Structure 1
Amino acid sequence: MSLDDLTVDVEETYESLDEEISLDLDDDTRQELTMLMAALDKEEGDIVEQAVRLLFQSTVETGKLDFHLRSGYDVTYDEYLSGMTYEEMGGGIQYPQQQQNDERRYQF
């Protein structure tokens, strides 16, 4: 898959999400959500929005997002944001380099 595939998948998924999302919560998640609502004095939508942002930030910072993007689409989040791969940024596609024979590169 490629950067174009990722872009299409993100756009299609974004369009398929409604303004409101109904979720089936297990008992533990429901208990945790109600505790956060009571403690923070916020509505469930605000808590869920903040939770998604925190999960996204954590996933980006730990490199998990890049790992999954590289595995599934062969791109990173930075490449997605810029709209071009590192190879395209460096001109690798426009000006292909000759294959170098690195067979003796590390021999003394």
Structure 2
Amino acid sequence: MSLDDLQDDLEASYSDLGDDLSVSLDRETRNELAMLSVAMDPDDTDELVRRAVHMLFQSTVDRGTLDFHLRSGYDCTYDEYLSGMTFDEMTGNQFPQDKDNDDRRYQF
């Protein structure tokens, strides 16, 4: 898969989500959401869910987990997605060396 495939899948997923998202909660999640709601006193619990998604996204970006999954599924990283070009396209395919000239790869 490629950067273009990622963009297509992202757009499809975005439109599938729509404006409203109903999520069923298990007992543990319901309890944790209730605790956060009481402690943080937001206008509504939707705000806590939005914050949770932002925090999960940021932590997966910071730990490199998002890049790992994107590289595995689409052969690109989040930075490449943001720039719209793969690393090879940005560097002009200079490195790594041609596969035919692999004998000098580890020489300085």
In structure 2, the residue matched to 1:17 is: 17
What's the secondary structure of 1:99's corresponding residue? Answer: helix
Q: Distance in 1 between matches of 2:37 and 2:106?
A: 61
Q: TM-score, normalised by structure 2?
A: 0.88
Q: Does 1:81 align with 2:82?
A: yes
Q: How does 1:29-108 map to 2 (within 5 A)?
A: 29-42=29-42, 43-92=44-93, 99-102=100-103, 105=106
Name the Cα RMSD after superposition.
2.1
* One-letter amino acid of the structure 2 residue matched with residue 73 of structure 1: Y
Q: Distance in 2 between matches of 1:35 and 1:72?
A: 36
Q: Distance in 2 between matches of 1:47 and 1:65?
A: 22
What is the percent sequence identity of the aligned residues? 54
Change (3 A) 1:22 1:103: same
* One-letter amino acid of the structure 2 residue matched with residue 64 of structure 1: T
* Residue 90 (structure 1) shift: 0.8
Q: Distance in 2 between matches of 1:104 and 1:10?
A: 37
Q: Distance in 1 between matches of 2:17 and 2:78?
A: 21
Change (3 A) 1:35 1:15: same
Q: What stretches of structure 2 of length at least 5 have no aligned partner?
A: none
Runs of 4 or more consecutive aligned structure 1 residues displaced over 3 Å after TM superposition: 96-99, 103-106
* Residue 13 (structure 1) shift: 0.5
Q: Distance in 2 between matches of 1:87 and 1:6?
A: 17
What CA deviation, in whole Å up to 9, does each residue of 1:28-48 have, x standing for no partner?
Answer: 100100110111001111000
Q: What stretches of structure 1 of length at least 5 have no aligned partner?
A: none
Give the structure with the higher percent helix.
2
Q: TM-score, normalised by structure 1?
A: 0.88
